[in-house]
Amino acid sequence: MLLTPLVEKRLKRQIENAITEYMKKAITFVQETICRVQSQVVEMQQATTADRQVASPADEEELKAKEAWRSEAFNPA
């Protein structure tokens, strides 16, 4: 099937627009995911800092267990 130059140009433009819209959605998704991950990292850092500030030597084992749990929860193997 041969396309006329006008039909070919319109089809090309439609494909370009579809790709552009898809890429916009993909970029938005990636940006939102990065923001969520950054928020989780900040929360983890704040929790770890708070735990360390109140931890006494007797609480050291509990602190290590919490940090290990956080590492496993946010970095599954």
Q: Helix 5-54 and helix 60-74: axis angle, to 10°?
A: 170
pLDDT tens, residue by residue, 19-64:
999 999 999 999 999 999 999 999 888 887 776 666 566 677 777 7
Position 54 scores a pLDDT of 62
pTM of the predicted protein model: 0.55
Mean pLDDT of the chain: 84
If you count them, how many residues does the chain have?
Answer: 77
Which one-letter amino acid corresponds to residue 59?
Answer: D
Separation CA 72–CA 54 (nearest Å): 23
> Which sequence spans correspond to the domains of the chain?
33-47+59-77
Q: How confident is the model at residue 12 (pLDDT cuts 50, 70, 90)?
A: very high
